[in-house]
Structure 1
């Protein structure tokens, strides 16, 4: 028997939750913000409901929601720290925040993102905080690529993956697990709350946990290394993180010994996802996708910079 449709019932639940929060709801349409296998997100008025990935358990999610509720000046707090079940998926409810506008890249809040990350990394993790899921997500992307149909881009991506230490491939524990990390930092993980012009906050706690803080800087670092992020924007991000006391990199000097392994892992993850999607769609790689595959090809010939901590 096929599973009952999730979206209509999630829509009904977010409407009900919005109406409980305010009597002034204009009761317009409910907007689907995302509908992917790993997350379905809908909005009605000032309320957002998220159906998490099917493999997300209460034991995984509850402590992450508790962390978000405890630091509302860094993470958008949930409306309730207790998820509800819907068709085998856990659902959480959140206030709506204004996202980053992808059409105005010059206004991207790199300083705000870096400052929030530094504050998150300096927050003592509560007892019972799970492990950050960044390396596990990268490993999952590579596993999907191995299962995809043959493609010329697959071998260089896998060669680059094989140069990484075991912890970055989720084959061994992370070498540093005392820092609270976001686990999946990119500009889509920031919103202004209260909408539309409140302060920036981080969202999406699914990968939150203790781990290597450099992982949270790895995606912009990888974009910079691949030529996808201008040097000026990378410099702004890095300077703001350092100014806010972020512990992932030294306060001055070369940051790359700390960033190289995570940045390589995020480059491989990005390339693996891009190639798998292109193969599934039967289309060639676009220019950006090819650039990260080319970066993997280069990476496979140059060993990563390994700090003593990251060499395992």
Structure 2
């Protein structure tokens, strides 16, 4: 089973209007692969994102507060140039009722009962090893800590005084200053084309039985170790089984992924990204639990416990 990770990092947005839903359905029915008679199915409707399947296409209304301008166009162009790795778009983005809308081929989502860890690791390695297409020259450097700091700031703004919040803030304070947004990040020792928000939910199966990556809103050039941060964090927290982590990491290494050494200890490269993502996910857990007016569940508590270990380790090392 896949570990349940809260769907995070932006505040809730108003529900989509019926007009927007109808507009997405009409776009899908008119798109190549769509069908005038296809019954629409809502695949996702949370956090200001609406995704509707119509026949063999998927129509997505993006979050209103995301970078949906020229950089999204560039990222979609990169997907079109790497169709063996990324699901290519069906045409350019468009504006509908004040929202940016994109169209994509439908891909079969990952089954939570049989997670394709080997396929995910191998595909991610091939993305990192690929030569970035010329179109990506205009993409900014990708820095994961920007998102982590924002989530922690949202949690802090809730004025929570619980033990979970305190441990998360202690752990965050133990991270390097540049991760916390204090000063410029050091130049990475290696750079690659990175997905920017990698997890197994970003894989879809296509007709030939292979897999592609979706959701290119964070695609950029940066340190590939950050793409391994989420599974590394969940493994460190004890919520991703060691066998699954080994399957993923082994496949990544076997495919020549550059984020970690080909053998030996990977944690010199993964330590800071994994600690950062553990803190980010824990902060998201607290935000979600507070919004739902409930205590932390077992998964969420495991992430907060990891923050305690991170804080203790940081204090004992003097960082």
Q: Tell me if TM exceeds 0.5.
A: yes
Match of 1:124 in 2: 131
Match of 1:51 in 2: 61
Match of 1:181 in 2: 194
Looking at structure 2, the residues matched to 207 and 174 of structure 1 have their Cα atoms a distance apart, in angstroms, of 20
Match of 1:158 in 2: 169
Match of 1:66 in 2: 77
Looking at structure 1, the residues matched to 212 and 87 of structure 2 have their Cα atoms a distance apart, in angstroms, of 6
Checking the alignment, whether the CA contact within 8 Å between 1:35 and 1:41 is kept in structure 2 is yes
> What do residues 264-302 of structure 1 show as CA deviations (whole Å, max 9, x unaligned)?
111011001000111111100000000000100110011
Q: 3-state SS of the aligned residue for 2:45?
A: strand
**Pair 1:205-2:185 in alignment:** no
**Pair 1:113-2:120 in alignment:** yes
Looking at structure 2, the residues matched to 98 and 144 of structure 1 have their Cα atoms a distance apart, in angstroms, of 34
Looking at structure 2, the residues matched to 216 and 77 of structure 1 have their Cα atoms a distance apart, in angstroms, of 20
Match of 2:46 in 1: 36
Deviation at 1:165, TM superposition (A): 1.8
Checking the alignment, whether the CA contact within 8 Å between 1:18 and 1:46 is kept in structure 2 is no
**Normalised TM-score (structure 2):** 0.86
Checking the alignment, whether the CA contact within 8 Å between 2:33 and 2:57 is kept in structure 1 is no
Deviation at 1:7, TM superposition (A): 5.1
**Pair 1:227-2:238 in alignment:** yes
Aligned Cα root-mean-square deviation (Å) = 2.3
Matches within 5 A, 1:73-92: 73-80=84-91, 82-92=92-102
Deviation at 1:122, TM superposition (A): 1.2
Deviation at 1:26, TM superposition (A): 4.2
Checking the alignment, whether the CA contact within 8 Å between 2:31 and 2:57 is kept in structure 1 is no
Q: 3-state SS of the aligned residue for 1:233?
A: helix
Q: 3-state SS of the aligned residue for 1:77?
A: coil
Q: 3-state SS of the aligned residue for 2:63?
A: coil
Looking at structure 2, the residues matched to 216 and 60 of structure 1 have their Cα atoms a distance apart, in angstroms, of 19
> What do residues 198-233 of structure 1 show as CA deviations (whole Å, max 9, x unaligned)?
311111111111111111111111111111111111
> What do residues 51-81 of structure 1 show as CA deviations (whole Å, max 9, x unaligned)?
112122312311111111110111111111x
Looking at structure 2, the residues matched to 25 and 285 of structure 1 have their Cα atoms a distance apart, in angstroms, of 45
Q: 3-state SS of the aligned residue for 2:284?
A: helix
> What do residues 158-199 of structure 1 show as CA deviations (whole Å, max 9, x unaligned)?
1111111234334423532731111111111110013xx631
Looking at structure 1, the residues matched to 186 and 217 of structure 2 have their Cα atoms a distance apart, in angstroms, of 18
Looking at structure 2, the residues matched to 51 and 110 of structure 1 have their Cα atoms a distance apart, in angstroms, of 29
**Pair 1:248-2:259 in alignment:** yes
Equivalenced residues, count: 297
Match of 1:290 in 2: 301
**Normalised TM-score (structure 1):** 0.88
Deviation at 1:149, TM superposition (A): 3.9
In structure 2, do the counterparts of structure 1 residues 79 and 265 end up closer, same or farther at CA, with 3 Å as the change threshold?
same
Task: Identify the range of structure 1 (277-286 vs 145-154) with the bigger mean alpha-carbon deviation.
Answer: 145-154
> What do residues 240-265 of structure 1 show as CA deviations (whole Å, max 9, x unaligned)?
11111100001110001100100011
Checking the alignment, whether the CA contact within 8 Å between 1:132 and 1:182 is kept in structure 2 is no
In structure 2, do the counterparts of structure 1 residues 120 and 228 end up closer, same or farther at CA, with 3 Å as the change threshold?
same
Structure 2: tracts of 5 or more residues without a match: 1-13
> What do residues 5-35 of structure 1 show as CA deviations (whole Å, max 9, x unaligned)?
545424433333334424755422x222222
Looking at structure 1, the residues matched to 222 and 48 of structure 2 have their Cα atoms a distance apart, in angstroms, of 22
Checking the alignment, whether the CA contact within 8 Å between 1:68 and 1:76 is kept in structure 2 is yes
Structure 1: tracts of 5 or more residues without a match: none
Looking at structure 1, the residues matched to 34 and 194 of structure 2 have their Cα atoms a distance apart, in angstroms, of 37
